[in-house]
Structure 1
Amino acid sequence: MNNRQLTFAREFRGYSQTELANSIKGLSQSNLSKFEKGLGYLSEDLQKKIIDFLDFPVSFFERKINSTITHAHYRKKSAVSKAEITKFENKCKLLGYIVDEMSESINWPEFNFIQLNIEEGYSPAYIAGYNRAALKIPKGAPLKDICNLLENNGVIIYEMEIPEKFDGISFFTDKGYPIVIINRNFPNDRKRFTIAHELGHLLMHNDFQFPISEYRDEKFKEKEANEFASEFLMPSSDIKNSLRGLKWNDLGVLKSYWLTSIASIIRRAKDLECISNDRFKHFRIEMSRYGYNKKEPIDVYIDKPQCFKNGYHLFKNELSYSDDDFVQTMNLPLDIIKDIFYYDRLVSLKVVRNIA
Structure 2
Amino acid sequence: MFYGKNLQVVRMLHGLSRKELGERLNVSEQSIWQFEKQMTEPSFENILQLGEILQVKTAFFFEKFRISKTFSENNVAYRKADVSSRKKTNSEVVYLNVVSEVIDYLESFLNVPPNTLITLRERVGEYLFGELTNEKIELISSVARDFLDIQPHNTNLLLALEKSGIHVLEKNVGGKADAYSAWSTKEVPVIVLGIKKSAVRRNFDLAHELGHLLLHPHIDFLTLEKNERQQTEREADYFASCFLLPSQMVSKDFKEIKKISNPESYIPLKSKYNVSIQALEMRAYKLGFLIPKQHSYFYRQISIKDYKVEEPLDREITLKRPGKIRSIFHLILSNQITNLGSIEEHFKMERRLIEEMFSIEPDFFIPYEKQEAFTSFNNVLRPKFGAI
Could you state the TM-score of these two structures normalised by the residue count of structure 2?
0.72
Q: Deviations over 1:244-264 (max 9, x none)?
A: 472525311111111100010
Change (3 A) 1:18 1:162: closer
RMSD: 3.7
From 291, 304, 319, the counterpart of 1:289: 304
- Whether 2:350 is the aligned partner of 1:338: answer no
Residue of structure 2 in register with 1:71 after alignment: 77
Structure 1 segments of 4+ aligned residues over 6 angstroms from their partners: 47-50, 80-85, 210-213
How far apart, in 2, do the equivalents of 1:54 and 1:325 lie?
22
Q: Indicate the SS of the match to 1:201.
A: helix
Give the corresponding residue for 1:176: 187
Alignment of 1:1-356 (within 5 A): 4-13=5-14, 14-16=16-18, 20=22, 31=34, 35=37, 42=39, 45=41, 52-55=48-51, 56=56, 57-58=60-61, 61-66=64-69, 67-68=71-72, 70-74=76-80, 77=82, 87=91, 90-113=94-117, 114-115=120-121, 116-117=124-125, 118-121=128-131, 123-137=136-150, 141-161=152-172, 163=174, 165-207=176-218, 214=224, 217-244=228-255, 246-248=260-262, 249-298=264-313, 299-301=316-318, 303-346=320-363
Distance 1:77 1:160 in 2: 15
Q: 2:338 is matched by which residue type in structure 1? A: Y
Amino acid aligned to 2:50:
L
Report the residue type matching 2:144 in the other structure. Answer: N
Post-superposition offset of 1:345 = 1.6
Q: Contact 1:260 / 1:300 at 8 angstroms: preserved in 2?
A: no
Deviation at 1:302, TM superposition (A): 5.2
- Rounded to whole Å, the distance in 2 between the matches of 1:241 and 1:235 is 11
- The normalised TM-score by structure 1 is 0.78
State the distance in 2 between where 1:4 and 1:312 align: 28
The question of whether the paired residues in 2 share the 8 Å contact of 1:164 and 1:183 is answered with no
Amino acid in the other structure paired with 1:73:
R
* CA–CA distance in structure 2, aligned partners of residues 212 and 92 of structure 1: 17
Distance 1:274 1:12 in 2: 47
Identical positions, percent:
19
Amino acid at match of 2:230: K
Query: Bigger relative contact order, structure 1 or 2, given CA contacts below 8 A and separation 6+?
Result: 2
The answer as to whether partners of 1:158 and 1:179 remain within 8 angstroms in 2 is yes
Report the alpha carbon displacement of residue 54 of structure 1 after superposing the two structures with TM: 3.2
Q: How many residues align?
A: 334
Aligned counterparts of 2:33 and 2:271: Cα–Cα separation in 1: 58
Does the CA-based 8 Å contact 1:312-1:341 persist in structure 2? no
Distance 1:250 1:17 in 2: 50
Amino acid aligned to 1:7: Q
Q: 1:71 to 1:81 in 2, by over 3 A?
A: closer
Amino acid at match of 1:71: A
- Structure 2 residue runs of 5 or longer lacking an equivalent are 365-388
**Which one is further off, 324-333 or 56-65?**
56-65
Change (3 A) 1:42 1:346: same
User: Which stretch shifts more, 279-288 or 216-225?
Assistant: 216-225
